């Protein structure tokens, strides 16, 4: 079972600590300006912790007025939560923390002039910039699956209209159909997410469409923790979930929208509902600003999250090369704090403490059966990467009570991270 360590708790309580260490003298001067682009988990956390210093003028640029969390969106797909329960707002960030929230897209960054151009034409000057644009989808790897095709074969890998579309498709499909999930190649947002989705959709089928099946067509030959998932599938959904690794199928090569089929090297699979999740890379603005390397992701200093390619621009969240850290909301939230502390130190001279990085991913196998993967990391300055220090993952064979308690903790985790991120 995961219990919070004092270190983790003190990181969660870091807002108060940061406000306390900013020198009074700095507070009286005109404030240095930080622009944060992207109001997802990474950007909103950075904005909140920077603003909490009281010594930095923070502007958060995010086109959406409401943010729907991907975490727990598989519950929504399975009919276990409303869509509205996933939606968070920016009011507390502006009203309680004094963040200026601008609901526009950032069109371009000029790293030399240190300005951000907004879609509406305004220019925002900055002393430091934080960019947290999340992921972009790389269409082109699967023939016939482009942006328009996601209206028929949704990815639902951003929470929003895509999730609502996939939910409607699952609700209207006839009993006896196959729900096909195409899992992209690594790295992608939320590594256990596709398998959690398979589990919770199977739970929905078991109740309402018991003759239906889930077929997972994977771009990989293994996933983690495979034994925990396969044990749960055998216990909860015998015969309902089939997982086909790339070595059996050769991977997904094409889709046929007319027949709703997913085509692999090894055969064609007819779907009642097809959930094709495209390969991913860092968000487009990071790519256009030259912040990505040949991998398509953003290299950063593992302690300060400053770009390795462009000084005074920091990046957090799914867009970065996170070393051993997976692309998750918890990781984005955890990275944003040392990033904020490093910027505060650079701009206001506040003391800097060694960063602690964590990720606890709660994954549901059934509504009352969840496991946690709790990981601690440290930045390795010499290697220039974030390294795993220790791990806890639930095991096969644990009591139902342990899994029930973990599921209960996960609900508490959702409330805690929502509060820590959006105030």
332 makes contact with ligand FAD (CB under 6 A): yes
Measured distance CA(304)–CA(315) in Å, rounded: 9
Contact residue for ligand FAD among 31, 64, 206, 224 (CB under 6 A): 64
Given the rule CB under 6 A, which of 233-241, 300-308, 327-335, 343-351 is the region that contacts ligand FAD? 327-335
Q: What is the DSSP code string of 119-158?
A: TTS-EEE-SEEEE---EEEETTSSBT-STGGGGTS----S
Residue number, nearest CB to ligand FAD: 40
Cβ nearer to ligand FAD, comparing 45 with 350: 45
Give 69 or 264: the residue with its C-beta nearer to ligand FAD. Answer: 69
Assign 191 to helix, strand or coil.
coil
Using rule CB under 6 A, residue 318 touches ligand FAD: yes
Closer residue to ligand FAD, CB minimum distance, 330 or 422: 330
Q: Which is nearer to ligand FAD, 278 or 283 (CB)?
A: 283
Query: Is 117 exposed, middle or buried (CB count within 10 Å of its CB: 0-12, 13-18, 19+)?
Result: middle
Unique residue bearing structure tokens 């000057």? 125
Within positions 150 to 189, which residues make up the interface with ligand FAD, using CB under 6 A? 157, 189
Find the part of the chain contacting ligand FAD (CB under 6 A) among 130-138, 139-147, 200-208, 258-266.
130-138
Return the closest-CA partner of residue 317 out of 26, 41, 12, 15.
41
Query: Beta 267-270 vs 261-264: how paired, if at all?
Result: antiparallel
Among 48, 62, 97, 262, binds ligand FAD (CB under 6 A): 62
| # residues contacting ligand FAD (CB under 6 A) | 36
Length, in residues, of the chain: 423
Which of 49, 71, 195, 305 contacts ligand FAD by CB under 6 A? 71
Task: By CB under 6 A, name the one of 59, 275, 304, 328 that touches ligand FAD.
Answer: 328
Q: Tell me how crowded residue 393 is: count the other CB atoms within 10 A of its CB.
A: 15
Question: Would you say 55 or 167 has its CB closer to ligand FAD?
Answer: 167
From the list 22-30, 35-43, 206-214, 215-223, the region that binds ligand FAD by CB under 6 A is 35-43
Angle between helices 41-51 and 14-21 (to 10 degrees): 40
Q: Is 42 in the site for ligand FAD (CB under 6 A)?
A: yes
Nearer to ligand FAD, 59 or 249 (CB): 59
Is-contact 45 421, C-beta < 8 A? yes
> How many angstroms separate the CA atoms of 255 and 269, rounded?
9
Residue 375 to residue 352: CA distance in whole angstroms: 23
Binding residues for ligand FAD (CB under 6 A):
37-43, 61-64, 67, 70-71, 73-74, 105-106, 132-134, 157, 189-190, 193, 283, 285, 317-318, 327-330, 332, 361-362
């Amino acid at each position: 079972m995961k219990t919070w360590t004092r270190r983790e708790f003190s990181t969660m309580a870091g807002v108060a600590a940061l406000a306390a260490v900013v020198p009074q003298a700095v507070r009286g001067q005109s404030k240095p300006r930080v622009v944060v682009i992207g109001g997802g988990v990474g950007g909103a956390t950075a904005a909140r912790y920077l603003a909490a210093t009281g010594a930095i003028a923070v502007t958060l640029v995010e086109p959406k007025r409401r943010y729907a969390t991907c975490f727990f969106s598989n519950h929504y797909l399975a009919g276990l939560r409303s869509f509205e329960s996933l939606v968070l707002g920016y009011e507390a960030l502006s009203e309680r923390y004094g963040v200026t929230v601008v609901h526009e897209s950032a069109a371009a960054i000029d790293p030399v002039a240190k300005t951000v151009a907004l879609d509406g034409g305004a220019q925002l000057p900055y002393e430091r910039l934080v960019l947290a644009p999340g992921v972009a989808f790389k269409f082109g790897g699967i023939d016939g699956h482009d942006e328009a095709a996601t209206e028929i074969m949704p990815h639902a890998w951003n929470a929003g209209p895509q999730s609502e579309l996939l939910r409607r498709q699952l609700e209207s499909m006839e009993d006896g159909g196959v729900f096909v999930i195409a899992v992209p190649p690594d790295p992608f947002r939320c590594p256990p997410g596709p398998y959690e989705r398979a589990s919770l959709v199977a739970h929905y089928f078991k109740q309402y469409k018991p003759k239906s099946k889930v077929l997972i067509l994977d771009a990989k030959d293994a996933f983690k923790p495979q034994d925990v998932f396969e044990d749960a599938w055998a216990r909860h959904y015998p015969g309902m979930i089939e997982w086909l690794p790339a070595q059996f199928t050769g991977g997904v090569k094409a889709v046929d929208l007319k027949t709703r089929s997913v085509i692999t090297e090894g055969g064609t699979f007819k779907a009642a509902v097809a959930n094709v999740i495209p390969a991913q890379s860092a968000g487009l603005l990071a790519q256009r600003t030259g912040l990505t390397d040949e991998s398509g992701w953003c290299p950063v200093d593992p302690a300060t999250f400053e770009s390795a390619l462009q000084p005074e621009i920091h990046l957090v969240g799914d867009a970065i090369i996170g070393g051993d850290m997976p692309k998750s909301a918890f990781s984005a939230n955890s990275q944003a704090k040392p990033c904020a502390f490093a910027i505060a130190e650079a701009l206001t001279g506040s003391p800097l403490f060694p960063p602690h990085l964590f990720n606890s991913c709660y994954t549901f196998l059934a509504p009352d059966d969840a496991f946690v993967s709790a990981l601690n990391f440290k930045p390795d300055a010499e290697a220039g990467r974030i390294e795993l220090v220790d791990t806890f993952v639930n095991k096969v064979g644990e009591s139902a009570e342990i899994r029930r308690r973990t599921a209960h903790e996960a609900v508490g985790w959702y409330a805690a991270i929502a509060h820590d991120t959006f105030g």
